[in-house]
Structure 1
Amino acid sequence: MICLGNICRSPIAEAVFANEMSKRGLKNQWEVESAAIINYHTGKVPDHRALATLKDNGITNYSHRARQITKEDFNQFDWIFGMDNDNIQDLNGLKSTIKPMECRAKVELLGSYDPSGEVIIRDPYYDAGSAGFQKAYEQCLRSVTAFLNKYAN
């Protein structure tokens, strides 16, 4: 799960994915992490509004420190999900620098799985309140649920 700074959308997506895997008994079948395009927030915990949104939605056992995506992630993971078109452009740019045999990951918008058709998960970082974080959570939940329904056993 990738967003610009790894303190808002991608940690929410990671926590939602982990929570859904746990509910479905899939923790041994799937691995999920989140990372940033840029290294500006490396080592920081998620935005307090992201953590509050997760807690308000029953996800209380999530902890994370921001990190930047690496070339190795493209070979470690089967999918790398961006939250918006800028993320996808940056991810595809990085992917183009990796040898094909060292790159198994598909790069996709997480929101492309949203049955409601909200493909872009907008960055709520500069919002005054937490409504944008709740919306991102709901989009992530719909998208992750649809993805797991499609690919999980």
Structure 2
Amino acid sequence: MLCFFLCLLKGNICRSPIAEAVFQKMVTDAGTVDKWRIDSAATSTYEIGSPPDHRGQACMKKHGVPMSHIARQVTKEDFMNFEYILCMDDSNMSELKRKAKSVSNYSAKIELLGSYDPQKQLIIKDPYYGSQEDFETVYEQCVRCCKVFLENNS
């Protein structure tokens, strides 16, 4: 299975690398890491080459979740190479669908990560302009959503 997390605002340094790290740890702990290719990217170019936001890194460290990622932009190949592209909000979804139109016969299923949330919180809000608590909320949402996604795709 190939899984890809995508976010937009400030470009792949907050929500998507948190989701990527959370899911990577889940499949590692489950002993199924060899069945997955996991990555994340942004639709924008704002932060290409940057590490994750320091508040996100602190949150992951607090929860014992390894995080190593360098921001990048989504490519046309991603639409062909990943089975799932899971985005964080409606803006991401719209931009992804717009970009997907330029890729003929793409195979990726584009969904909101929040569609897997048992608490029905469909949108994972960008914590960039918020507090450390907002990063904690993103982490908790990603844990819930990734757990259900993994259960549905094991």
1:86-142 CA-to-partner distances (Å, cap 9, x unmatched) read 000000001111101xx1100000010000101100000011x21110000000000
The answer to whether 1:43 aligns with 2:49 is: yes
Identify which of 82, 87, 90 aligns with 1:77: 82
Q: Which amino acid aligns with 1:86?
A: S
> Which of the two has greater strand per residue?
2
Identify which of 127, 132, 154 aligns with 1:124: 127
Runs of 4+ in 1 over 4 A off after TM superposition: none
Match of 2:114 in 1: 111
Gaps of 5+ in 2: none
Q: Which amino acid aligns with 2:79?
A: F
Cα root mean square deviation, aligned: 0.6
Equivalents in 2 of 1:44, 1:52: separation in Å? Answer: 16
Alignment TM-score, normalising by the size of structure 1: 0.95
Q: Which amino acid aligns with 1:112?
A: S
Residues 80-99 of structure 1: matches in 2 within 5 Å? 80-99=85-104
1:51-71 CA-to-partner distances (Å, cap 9, x unmatched) read 001111111x32111000001
Q: Which amino acid aligns with 1:23?
A: D
Equivalents in 1 of 2:100, 2:43: separation in Å? Answer: 12
Match of 1:56 in 2: 62
Equivalents in 1 of 2:79, 2:102: separation in Å? Answer: 11
Match of 2:32 in 1: 26
Equivalents in 1 of 2:78, 2:89: separation in Å? Answer: 19
Identify which of 124, 139, 144 aligns with 2:146: 144
Alignment TM-score, normalising by the size of structure 2: 0.95
Identify which of 132, 135, 147 aligns with 1:133: 135
Identity of aligned residues (%): 47
Q: How many residues align?
A: 148
Equivalents in 2 of 1:62, 1:50: separation in Å? Answer: 9
